[in-house]
Structure formats: C-alpha cells, structure tokens
C-alpha cells in the first residue's frame, strides 16, 4: 500500500510600492489612508511647534529666536528676488513658507524607521498583501496633487484681488482684444489679425495653468516616490550601513524639492498678480 505525501499550501505575502496610498480605516464613506495620517501628523507637529515658539517670543531676541529671525530674513530676501517687491513678498511668503514646511516635514518623516515597514497583512482570497500603517505624505500622488491645486488656485485668487476680476480674466479670455477691433479697425487694419491672435494666446495660457498643476504635483511626487523605492531596494539588498548614504541623499532631496515647489509657487503668485503688460 502506498501513501501520498500530505499537501500544504502557503500564501505568499507581497509588498509592492504603490502609486496610491493604502486605506487603513473608514469613517462612513470617508477613507483614511496611511499617507493621510502622516499629513495629519505633520500638521499637528507644525501647529504645536509654532505655538510653543510663539509663547517664547521676546521683544529682545536671544538664543534660538535669533536663528529663526535670521532664517526668516533670508527667506524674505530670497522671496524678493522672485517677486521683485518686498510688499509682494510680505503678502505671499506666509502661504509659501507654510507650504515649504509642510512638504519638508512630510519628506523627512517618510525616512524615519518604521514608516513603510510597520503594518498589517490584508488577505483577499488566496492573495495576501502587506499594508504599511504609515507612509510619507508626499510619496502619495493624491497629496502632491492637492497641494498643487491649492497653489495654482491661490495664484488666481491673488490675481483677482490684486488686478480685479476683469483684468485677470482677460489674461485667459481676452474680451478686451475683441472689443478694440471695431474702435481701431480704421486706423490700424492689421488689428483684425493681431487681436484674435492675442485671444488665442489667452487660451494657451489656460492650458498652461493645467500644466502647472501637473508639473508641480508630478515633480514632487516622482522624486519622493523614487527615493522611497530606492531605499526599499537598498534595504532588501543589505539592511545595514548600505542604505545610509542613500538616506543622507534623500535628506538633501527633501530640502531641494520643498524649495523648488515653494519658489515655483511664489513665482506663480507674482506672475498672476502682475498686469499683462508687465
């Protein structure tokens, strides 16, 4: 009599870096993702940190307050080179600086031990996948898209507040160019050709606004997500020492990407609040 060996089945647990954030919990129809939790953590850290700093501000600065004031003055100097005006810098920098800090802290939090490596196993049928509890906020395309939309929408809001809704709208749909044709057609017949071209250029500007959103969001997401995948690959090869140079590189990348995003946002604010002839 022959006996067959006992069959055993083992489920393989996979862990793949996804472009989207993984859901952790649900509150009604609202989904809480692992990157959303990190974004909340970042906001709480910034609010609590600056609340504590605000309580220690003195009229005669000393210690850390001197350092913060030097950094703030350098930020204003850098902003002046982009906007060309201290008045505009004072108006735009609070928002741009908040975006810079939010992006920078999110970039750096994603490098902490446990982020992306501590989680739970989710099973669907015969497939099991590891889902991290926390994930860097800017490694999620939803987060970068949201802050990019905020930056572009705020640039239009500043444009309307500075120039008025009519002048700002004419940058994109040039009604003024069409209205000039009957008035100046006799003196300058070429206006029949020139002004429709101006209106067409305005339509191109509308496409450019969409390109701004795509450029801001994908540049930030691509660099941070690529760094996340690179570090995971290095740790899979050898978990000790080997990832350290790459982690240091990602610290630099985190600063650079936050700075690039902030300067571009500041430039968009400045352009939107300038008259067309400027």
Instruction: Give the model's confidence band at 152: pLDDT under 50 very low, under 70 low, under 90 confident, else very high.
Output: very high
Residue 130 backbone phi and psi in degrees, to 5: -85, 130
Beta-sheet pairing, 119-124 with 13-14: unpaired
Q: CA distances (Å), 85 to each of 17, 99, 160, 274, in order?
A: 44, 20, 18, 11
Instruction: Give the model's confidence band at 157: pLDDT under 50 very low, under 70 low, under 90 confident, else very high.
Output: very high
Residue 63 lies in a domain: yes
SS3 content of the chain, % helix, strand, coil (to 5): 65, 10, 25
Residue 101 lies in a domain: yes
Residue 10 lies in a domain: no
Residue 177 lies in a domain: yes
- 190-207 per-position pLDDT tens digit: 666 666 666 677 777 788
Strand order in the sheet with 119-124: 13-14, 127-132, 119-124
Q: Say how many domains are in the chain.
A: 1
pLDDT exceeds cutoff 70 at 85: yes
Residue 195 lies in a domain: yes
What percent of the chain stands above pLDDT 90?
27
Instruction: Give the model's confidence band at 260: pLDDT under 50 very low, under 70 low, under 90 confident, else very high.
Output: very high
Please give the pLDDT value at position 63.
74
Residue 5 lies in a domain: no
Across 152-166, average pLDDT: 88
Residue 145 lies in a domain: yes
Instruction: Give the range of the structural domain holding residue 198, as residue numbers without chain letter.
Output: 23-272
From the centroid of its chain, how far is CA 19? Answer: 15
Rounded to two decimals, the pTM is 0.81
Residue 211 lies in a domain: yes
Which of 11-15, 116-120, 144-148 reaches the highest mean pLDDT?
Answer: 144-148
Please give the pLDDT value at position 244.
79
């Amino acid at each position: 009599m022959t006996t067959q060996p006992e069959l055993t089945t083992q489920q393989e647990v996979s862990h793949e870096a996804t472009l989207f954030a993984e859901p952790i919990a649900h509150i009604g129809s609202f989904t809480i993702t692992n990157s959303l939790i990190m974004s909340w953590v970042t906001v709480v850290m910034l609010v609590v940190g600056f609340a504590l700093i605000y309580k220690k501000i003195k009229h005669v600065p000393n210690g850390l307050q001197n350092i913060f004031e030097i950094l703030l003055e350098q930020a204003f100097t850098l902003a002046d080179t982009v906007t060309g005006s201290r008045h505009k810098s004072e108006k735009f920098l609070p928002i741009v600086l908040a975006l810079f800090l939010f992006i920078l802290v999110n970039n750096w939090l994603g490098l902490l031990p446990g982020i992306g490596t501590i989680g739970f196993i989710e099973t669907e049928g015969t497939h099991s996948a590891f889902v991290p509890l926390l994930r860097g906020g800017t490694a999620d395309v939803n987060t970068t898209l949201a802050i990019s939309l905020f930056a572009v929408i705020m640039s239009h809001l500043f444009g309307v507040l500075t120039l008025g809704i009519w002048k700002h709208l004419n940058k994109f749909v040039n009604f003024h160019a069409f209205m000039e044709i009957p008035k100046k057609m006799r003196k300058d017949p070429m206006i029949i050709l020139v002004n429709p071209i101006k209106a067409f250029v305005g339509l191109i500007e509308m496409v450019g606004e969409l390109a701004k959103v795509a450029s801001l969001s994908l540049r930030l997401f691509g660099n941070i997500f690529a760094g996340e995948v690179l570090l995971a690959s290095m740790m899979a090869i050898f978990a000790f020492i080997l990832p350290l140079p790459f982690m240091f590189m990602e610290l630099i990348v985190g600063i650079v990407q936050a700075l690039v995003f902030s300067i571009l946002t500041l430039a968009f604010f400045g352009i939107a609040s300038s008259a067309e002839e400027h």
